[in-house]
Amino acid sequence: MKFSYKGAALLTVVASALITGCGGGGGGGGGGFAALGATATATDTGTTAGTATDTTAGAGAATSTGTNATQGTQAPATTTPVANEVVDTSGAIAADAYKATAAQFAKDAGIAYRYGNPAPVDNAGIPTLSQRSDQTMTYHAGTWQVGGPLLADAGLYSTNQAHVGFVADNPAVRMGVGDLQISAVDHNTFSQAPQLPWQEAAAWDGSAGRTNYNVSTYKTAGLTNGDPVAVARCGGRTGFCATSLVAFQNGLIGTAGSNTANNKGSVKLPANKVPTGIAMTNTSEYALVTVWDTTALKGQVAVISLAGLCNNCNPYDSNKNGSYDAWYDWWHEWMGVYPGLPNMGNIAFMKVLGYIDLPGMNAPTEIAVTTGFDQFQTALPEKGGEFMGQTYSPLTDPSKRATFSGSGTNANRYAKAGVAVVISKSEKKAAFIDLKPLFSYVNNVYFGTGPTEFTNLGQADNQWPYTFAYKPQQTPTVISTVALDDRPTAVKTTLFGNVHRAWIATESGSLRIYGLGNVPTGTVVGDVTEKGRVAVGRNPTSLATSKIDPENKTIEPLNQQVLVASRGDRKIQWVRFGSDGNSGSVVRSLQDSRIIDPIAVEDADNFASDNMVLSIADYAGKKVSNYRYGSVIFANRGGSWSCQPPGGCPVQPTNGVNIEFGGSFAMEGKPFNIRTANVP
């Protein structure tokens, strides 16, 4: 993969000869056990918080409301009992139920608790969308559906690959985390059917993605037998999110990679800290994991510091040792281990810093986070848009370190603050957490005038990065806890830009819009207010960042549009927000008779070519399905190539619906989580 920036602002597709493909080049294996299985010993750190109450019960409109909009009617809050409920009629935690449900988060019972039950299948009035036939890819395993004919030249090769979390049919055979190729631009063709990555069949152990390679090594090392609870990946600009993080039922947090990015950093939470959700900051500085403490019967957020490094490199030794390589230039990543700083996402080091208490919230179910930081700000224009890491390594060099402070040339190349949003389905609450204390403290250690404390890397409290127990002043604080009038089912945030918002979906079919103030400088209690609501389908169990829109190229979809998977109505909706972020409307919907139980949705990255493909994790249908909602447009290579601009290869519509079915992949279990990225 290669990408270019102009003025650290907007992605520019460079000339064909300058772009190398993303998506794995067939390299083999690799990895090693960098920080593998580190045990978390950080001490709990409590916080205090105020409480704000949502008094606009029942407010909403058929399409959207803003702060000054006329309120309309909306479906009332649901009264259907929560499966495996953990609170009693007074709202207090029922200890036995709490512990029982916590133990089943990765099983059908836990999925039912978090996401409800599948909707009845009634295809009356629902179309069966057009599907193209599969063509054989002769240069390697796999199929393609669009473009052609096959050319010997691979062209601007790129792929999007996914990590899929699923409840395995046979846990002894599959660990519940698999890999799929979602789309590929390859030899003048476009593949839009989900399929096993051909690179993995050539490179690894023959499972070919049915179990992720990293995850299989955790089983070999005795760290986990599987049972994923949640999968997270950073989001935003293409090229930065090389690996996902998986939270397992037994408390292991570990990476899931691809054949070209497979560092194996991991940590394990104490046995009484059961993970329920996970999110990563914009440039993979931190992972935030919601947990149920089954001893204290309280909810918390575990804060894990992350560091990226060259692939198959040991964070504790820069030299070649054992199966590890000597440190080398990997996409201009840091030539050092700097937890808490922006990185390219191939996580080699992890450390639990501590836990944030959630006053009044004992059963958190989902989490989202934003720093308001655009990953393109890490690019160096003088280096053709390269990531800053290699050029400014090591940070022990005073002259390099100084460029990141004050008015230095790199003073705006890292995040200064952030906000996490945690929801509790049972308790009908949302908590907003201020991450500025953490970023401020860590940035000051790296870029202040004090000694270079960050060279003493390790897992002890007094080794870098320091735990909250050792340096409590860095502990994030809860800004406010908001009471909701309906059960929250999903949460997402904007990534960067001038308008910062959180979106909270609720069970009856409402997407609530909350202000976050100016996230890059810090969010305060007065910023957290409801701005409006958008009516969406029932039981919206997943919100996904929109990567592109086929009809409106003037918006920044990463911050102005979100995809909603409404499990209760078996459909996907695109919600676009107004320029002020306070209102929105559904601009496109997807329904197809093949969709049985859409529990999660994910939009694919678009690199040198426009893909316009989304993926659905179909839980009861036991499959991952792809749909294309716009033209495939390859980067301009002349008339001998297919799908050339401006028109590209358009969708084959069905009765005026400009969406086509790309294909499905049958899983060996029930998928409930999917994270996709253009991989290196």
Domain CATH for 41: 2.130.10.10
Rounded Cα gap, residues 418 and 445, in angstroms:
18
Nearest Cα residue to 387 out of 184, 242, 245: 242
Rounded Cα gap, residues 607 and 445, in angstroms:
36
- Per-residue confidence at 508, pLDDT binned at 50, 70, 90? very high
- The dihedral formed by the CA atoms of 393, 395, 398 and 399, expressed in degrees to the nearest 10: 40
What pLDDT sits at residue 64? 54
Share of the chain above pLDDT 90, in %: 81
Q: 279 lies in which domain range?
A: 4-678
Looking at residues 28-54, what average pLDDT do you find? 44
Looking at residues 498-525, what average pLDDT do you find? 98
Q: Which of 68-72, 247-251, 322-326 has the highest mean pLDDT?
A: 247-251
Question: Residues 411-436: pLDDT tens digits?
Answer: 999 999 999 999 999 999 999 999 99
What pLDDT sits at residue 288? 99
User: How many domains are there within the chain?
Assistant: 1
**55 has a pLDDT exceeding 60:** no
Looking at residues 345-363, what average pLDDT do you find? 98
**18 has a pLDDT exceeding 50:** no
Question: Residues 127-161: pLDDT tens digits?
Answer: 999 999 999 999 999 999 999 999 999 988 999 99
Share of the chain above pLDDT 70, in %: 88
Say if strands 347-357 and 44-45 run parallel, antiparallel, or are unpaired. parallel
Rounded Cα gap, residues 196 and 178, in angstroms:
9
What pLDDT sits at residue 48? 39
3-class DSSP state for residue 312? coil
Q: Are 264 and 254 in contact (CB under 8 A)?
A: yes
Nearest Cα residue to 431 out of 442, 441, 439, 423: 423
Say if strands 252-256 and 266-268 run parallel, antiparallel, or are unpaired. antiparallel
What pLDDT sits at residue 186? 95
Q: What is the pTM of this model?
A: 0.91
What pLDDT sits at residue 23? 52
- Per-residue confidence at 593, pLDDT binned at 50, 70, 90? very high
Looking at residues 215-228, what average pLDDT do you find? 96
CB neighbours (10 Å) of residue 332?
19
Higher pLDDT, 416 or 39: 416
Phi, psi of 365 (to 5 degrees): -120, -30
Nearest Cα residue to 241 out of 284, 277, 183: 284
- Per-residue confidence at 25, pLDDT binned at 50, 70, 90? very low
- Per-residue confidence at 37, pLDDT binned at 50, 70, 90? low
What pLDDT sits at residue 82? 83
What pLDDT sits at residue 77? 57
Looking at residues 593-618, what average pLDDT do you find? 96
- What's at 592, amino acid-wise? D
Cα separations (Å) of 122 from 119, 126, 135, 297, 298?
A: 9, 8, 32, 41, 40
Strand order in the sheet with 584-590: 540-545, 561-566, 571-577, 584-590
Across the chain, what does the average pLDDT equal? Answer: 89
| Least confident window among 4-13, 60-69, 109-118 | 4-13
Question: Residues 292-344: pLDDT tens digits?
Answer: 999 999 999 999 999 999 999 999 999 998 889 999 999 999 999 999 999 99
Say if strands 613-618 and 477-483 run parallel, antiparallel, or are unpaired. unpaired
What pLDDT sits at residue 490? 99
| Least confident window among 106-110, 156-160, 273-277, 456-460 | 156-160
Rounded Cα gap, residues 191 and 642, in angstroms:
13
Rounded Cα gap, residues 46 and 42, in angstroms:
13
CB neighbours (10 Å) of residue 623?
21
**8 has a pLDDT exceeding 70:** no
What pLDDT sits at residue 321? 85
- Per-residue confidence at 205, pLDDT binned at 50, 70, 90? low
Nearest Cα residue to 342 out of 442, 453, 433: 442
- Per-residue confidence at 179, pLDDT binned at 50, 70, 90? very high
Question: Residues 431-440: pLDDT tens digits?
Answer: 999 999 999 9
- Per-residue confidence at 56, pLDDT binned at 50, 70, 90? very low
- Per-residue confidence at 65, pLDDT binned at 50, 70, 90? low
Higher pLDDT, 643 or 199: 643
Rounded Cα gap, residues 326 and 308, in angstroms:
15
Q: Residue 186 burial (CB < 10 Å; 0-12/13-18/19+)? A: buried
**27 has a pLDDT exceeding 70:** no
| Least confident window among 61-75, 512-526, 665-679 | 61-75
Phi, psi of 545 (to 5 degrees): -65, 130
| Least confident window among 6-15, 260-269, 595-604 | 6-15
What pLDDT sits at residue 673? 98
Looking at residues 632-661, what average pLDDT do you find? 95
Q: In sequence order, what DSSP letters do the residues of 148-177 get, joined into one string?
A: ----SS--S-EEEEEEEEEEES-TTT--SE
| Least confident window among 57-66, 147-156, 595-604 | 57-66
What pLDDT sits at residue 44? 59
Q: Which of 71-75, 156-160, 497-501 has the highest mean pLDDT?
A: 497-501
| Least confident window among 36-50, 352-366, 602-616 | 36-50
| C-alpha of 367 from chain center | 11
| Least confident window among 18-27, 209-218, 454-463 | 18-27
